[in-house]
Amino acid sequence: MINPKIKQLKEESRLNLTVAASATSVVMIESAASELSEDEMLDAVYIGHDAIKTLCAMQKEFIEACGKEKVEVVLLGIPEAILSQMDADYGQKIAEASVVLGKQERQDAFDAVEAEMLEKHLAEDGEELYAENEKHYKEAFHELIRRCVRASILDKHFRVDGRGLDDIRDITCEIDVLPRVHGSALFTRGETQSLGTLTLGGGSDEQIIDTLEEEYKKRFYLHYNFPPFSVGEAGRMGFTSRRELGHGNLAERALTAVLPSADDFPYTMRIVADTLESNGSSSMASICGGCLAMMAAGVPIKAPVAGIANGLIMEGDKFVVLTDIMGLEDHLGDMDFKCAGTREGITAMQMDIKIEGITKDIMRIALEKAKKARLQILDIMADCIAEPREDLAPSAPRIESFKVPTDKIGEIIGPAGKMIKSIIESCQVGIDIQDDGTVRILSPDKASIDKAKAIIKGIAIDPQPGEEFEGPVTRIEPYGVFVKIAGGAKEGMVHVSQMHTSRVGHPEDMVKLGDIVHVKALGMEKGKLSLTMKGVAGNPEPDPNAPERPAAPRRDDRGPRRDGRDSRDSRGGGFRDRNRR
């Protein structure tokens, strides 16, 4: 479907794909998918390209009707004489430096040849002519590096680190590298290394996304960090760069497809992917490291996910597709094609190119090589951890979910949040209540969860007649006692006549403030709970030596009137003597 509605894209679609193209070829792809096959993804890309052709034709008509003649731009190139001389003098040294193993060692070799070249030209030209040509010398030197590396790959199928076209760099995987976090993993591919750290939280930790189209919450998010030291530089650690945002978004989309449902795993999940060393494809390493961290933490993902970056070297009609490109091949190549997924299919894909466009055949080859490499990486990851652990880490919070009637939510929260704050403070838990009545309690301690759960259920569920409880006496009046039950969530009254089978002159003859008593529910009347202690085992007996006390006043006795006269008898309508019974 071309240009689907937001609701269709979010709720009904297995694919979210953006394609940019000219009338003749595809130039950019961004996608998230639910384990689509390579054929399905390829078909989707070119269905999008067909729609783009229509737009390009419309643009062409518009240009023919009212377009202006293009301004001719003369590009400033490298003088051919300088380029030829540079090739003759330093071509061989550049070729030798380009096959030095190790990113830093190779760069040091290039720097040494460049320094030698600049020193030679400074001595030959003099300062004035050298200042005029220095820029051309440097550009010619880097152009020769580009030509040397590309020609070696295209003509000899020889890569600068000695690998074959389809070879993946050495991979190592480790889990539980950090002792305290909920899940951690270290993924290393060649000279690229990513540390994935997973933290689990509750509903209050969900990220609120406020867009022009809608506002929603995310229960999974991935943050990608690319510090300067990862490429051997000393730099300022400032705001999040566009590169970090883009790579983090790609890795997040790749893993979102395999997350468990909120009903099965009601946690908020945050992955931080720190790039510790980078020599190409750090975003794909972040996917692998993040997946391993989730499995180590016990997140029941549907399937493991791995990612790989492929490249392209193309001159005219001649081309080669490279598997697992390193930084230099990315820099000097014509395409960066990233693909992530499970054994069953693709979950995320991204492509950008530096040439006019690529054909469908090239993209098909890139997808096939990406699948082969992805399966190899998944095998290596499975040797480290084959499936998610059954239990969460000891430091991870536990969550229990249950539902309460929606009309009880306000009562659970209380005025200005007083009730829920007191539960959180007394039980040392996190509590999240949804509008549909779903309650989630979060704590690493099972006893704390059970305590909070009992209080909330006590508030939300009215006691049924005959149901027994125990609780402290919180108030004593001449006509009865008030008892808190269900962990203090509810309070009911035991009338003095319901305290014992024998007559009790005053409640204090039987109980004291703070005593724990056993009660049985009689029912609710006008929102108030009536309790009884009659026939309930475990209660104290009345004191037989208690002094004689006046009988408890009836509940309908309103006391003296403001004018000093006795109250009107509600049953007879006339005045009566208050001291007469």
| Residue-wise DSSP of 72-104 | P-------HHHHHHHHHHHHHHHHHHHT-SSHH
Distances (CA, A) of 462 to 56, 148, 427, 556: 67, 81, 22, 26
Contact 314, 334 (CB under 8 A): yes
Segment 330-348, tens digit of pLDDT: 999 999 999 999 999 999 9
Q: Residue 554 — very low, low, confident or very high, per pLDDT cuts 50/70/90? A: low
311-326 pLDDT per residue, tens: 999 998 899 999 999 9
Q: What is the dihedral of CA 21, 26, 32, 33, to 10 degrees?
A: 120
Q: Which of the following CATH numbers is that of domain 171-233+241-317+362-384: 3.40.50.1100, 3.40.50.300, 3.20.20.10, 3.30.230.70?
A: 3.30.230.70
The predicted structure's pLDDT at residue 471:
86
Asked which of 141-145, 167-171, 255-259, 496-500 is least confident by mean pLDDT, the reply is: 496-500
- For the chain, give the mean pLDDT: 88
For the stretch 13-68, pLDDT in tens is 999 999 999 999 999 999 999 999 999 999 999 999 999 999 999 999 999 999 89
- What is the identity of the amino acid at 267? Y
Instruction: Convert the pLDDT of each residue in 206-227 to its tens digit.
Output: 999 998 888 889 999 999 999 9
Instruction: Return the pLDDT at 553.
Output: 55
Domain ranges (residues) in the chain? 80-156, 171-233+241-317+362-384, 398-460, 463-561
- Say whether pLDDT at 139 is over 90: yes
Own/partner long-range contacts of 430-434 (Cβ < 8 Å, ≥24 apart)? 430/202, 430/204, 430/397, 431/456, 432/202, 432/203, 432/204, 433/409, 434/203
Q: What is the pLDDT of residue 567?
A: 42
463-561 placed in CATH 3.40.50.920:
no
pLDDT of amino acid 559: 43
Q: What is the pLDDT confidence band of residue 403, given thresholds at 50, 70 and 90?
A: confident
Helices 38-66 and 360-384, interaxial angle, to 10°? 140
Q: So what's the architecture of 80-156 in CATH? A: Orthogonal Bundle (1.10)
Of 3.40.50.410, 3.30.1370.10, 3.10.20.520, 3.30.565.10, the CATH number of 398-460 is 3.30.1370.10
pLDDT over 70, % of the chain: 93
The model's confidence at residue 272, banded by pLDDT at 50, 70 and 90, is very high
How far apart are the C-alpha atoms of 336 and 346, rounded to whole Å? 17
| Structure confidence at residue 538 as a pLDDT band (50, 70, 90) | confident
> Burial of 80 by CB count in 10 Å (0-12 exposed, 13-18 middle, 19+ buried)?
exposed
pLDDT number for residue 13: 92
Q: What is the pTM of this model?
A: 0.78
Give the bridge partners for 127, in sequence order: none
pLDDT at 423 over 80: yes
